[in-house]
Amino acid sequence: MVRFENVGLRYGNGPEVLRDLSFELAPGSFQFLTGPTGAGKSSLLKLLYLSERPSRGLITLFGEPLSKVPRDRLHELRRRIGVVFQDFRLLDHMSAYDNVALPLRIAGHGEKHIKEAVTELMEWVGLSDKMGALPATLSGGQKQLIAIARAVITSPSLIVADEPTGNIDRDMSMKIMRLFIELNKQGTTVIVATHDWPLIDKIKRPMLELFEGKLAEASWWLKPGEGLDEPV
Ligand SMILES: Nc1ncnc2c1ncn2[C@@H]1O[C@H](COP(=O)(O)OP(=O)(O)OP(=O)(O)O)[C@@H](O)[C@H]1O
């Protein structure tokens, strides 16, 4: 699904903020990414969802070496990735329904299909009664549920989440993580950056740890399949 080989990243002429990153995300895997503030988690995720290009090394995404993908084809790969941010990035002037519908509208789908898909996803995240709500009238957790519905409406094969439960209470954080786990059980590859140790501890999935731009030996690893059926 994803392979990094000796990847480095610098912004402009600055120092390398990521160095010598080599790892793989297997198809259908669930991976946490953790590390202290400034360690480079968001930067690593930006490389994954194609918002930055590496300054050295090789990234292979969906079997394609990114260095060989022409710029005008990058958006095709990008469409296969759903991204969830800590700050939701909903469009404030649009209803929850229209926010969730947006990726399908951009992709040119008809309104009938859009209505079915949005209705199903709003039900899935438990917000069927908030279709017409503007983001400003929703709680942080509800906004994140809308952002997750928007991220998955195009059925991406990779979900990248950057601190999706920052500033969200414990119960809602668990609800959000359960949605990611459900998607993962359906075959979606998921990577979640978080500082939330109690959450990591409860969910028990493999973890990548960054320190000052380098991957540390993981403090613990689970063997493939291990932990996956634990209640969360
Ligand atoms: N656009 C940018 N231009 C220049 N430097 C940047 C940029 N974005 C991040 N950095 C630098 O890259 C390093 C890693 O930042 P990054 O945001 O990836 O860390 P992080 O682990 O996600 O931190 P946090 O947990 O605080 O979100 C930091 O030193 C940061 O200052």
Q: What is the pLDDT of residues 175-212, one digit of tens each?
A: 999 999 999 999 999 999 998 888 888 888 888 999 99
Say yes or no: ipTM exceeds 0.95.
Answer: yes
Gap from CA of 33 to ligand 1 centroid (Å): 14
Give the containing element (helix H, strand E) for 168: none
**Does residue 154 contact residue 183 with C-beta atoms inside 8 Å?**
no
Q: Which residues pair with 9 in a beta bridge?
A: 18
Question: What is the structure's pLDDT at 22?
Answer: 94
CA angle 134, 139, 140 (to 5 degrees): 105
Gap from CA of 223 to ligand 1 centroid (Å): 31
Give nearest CA residue, ligand 1 atom 30. 38
What's the CA dihedral at 43, 49, 55, 60 to 10 degrees? 130
Gap from CA of 18 to ligand 1 centroid (Å): 10
**Does residue 167 contact residue 87 with C-beta atoms inside 8 Å?**
no
**Does residue 7 contact residue 21 with C-beta atoms inside 8 Å?**
yes
Gap from CA of 214 to ligand 1 centroid (Å): 13
Gap from CA of 75 to ligand 1 centroid (Å): 24
Give nearest CA residue, ligand 1 atom 24. 37
The span from the CA of 205 to the CA of 210, in Å, is 16
Strand, helix or coil at 231? coil
**Does residue 200 contact residue 191 with C-beta atoms inside 8 Å?**
no
Q: Which atom of ligand 1 is nearest to the CA of 45?
A: 18
Q: Which atom of ligand 1 is nearest to the CA of 193?
A: 22
Mutate to test the pocket of ligand 1, among 7, 11, 160 (most ligand atoms within 8 A of CB): 11
Residue 153: CB atoms within 10 A of its CB come to: 22
The span from the CA of 15 to the CA of 46, in Å, is 17
Mean pLDDT within 84-96:
97
Please report how the helices 140-152 and 170-185 are oriented relative to each other, as an axis angle in degrees rounded to 10. Answer: 10
Question: What is the structure's pLDDT at 206?
Answer: 87
Task: Answer yes or no: is the C-beta of 40 below 6 A from any ligand 1 atom.
Answer: yes
Non-local (6+) Cβ contacts of 24 within 8 A are 1, 2, 3, 4
Give nearest CA residue, ligand 1 atom 11. 17
Gap from CA of 14 to ligand 1 centroid (Å): 12
Task: Answer yes or no: is the C-beta of 11 below 6 A from any ligand 1 atom.
Answer: yes
pLDDT per residue as tens digits for the range 117-152: 999 999 999 999 999 999 999 999 999 999 999 999
- Residue 203 φ/ψ, nearest 5 degrees: -85, -25
Question: What is the structure's pLDDT at 219?
Answer: 45
**Does residue 151 contact residue 191 with C-beta atoms inside 8 Å?**
no
Q: How far is CA 227 from the centre of its chain?
A: 21
Strand, helix or coil at 20? strand
Helical segments of 79-154, H only: 96-106, 111-124, 140-152
pTM over 0.90, yes/no: yes
Task: Answer yes or no: is the C-beta of 42 below 6 A from any ligand 1 atom.
Answer: yes
Task: Answer yes or no: is the C-beta of 14 below 6 A from any ligand 1 atom.
Answer: yes
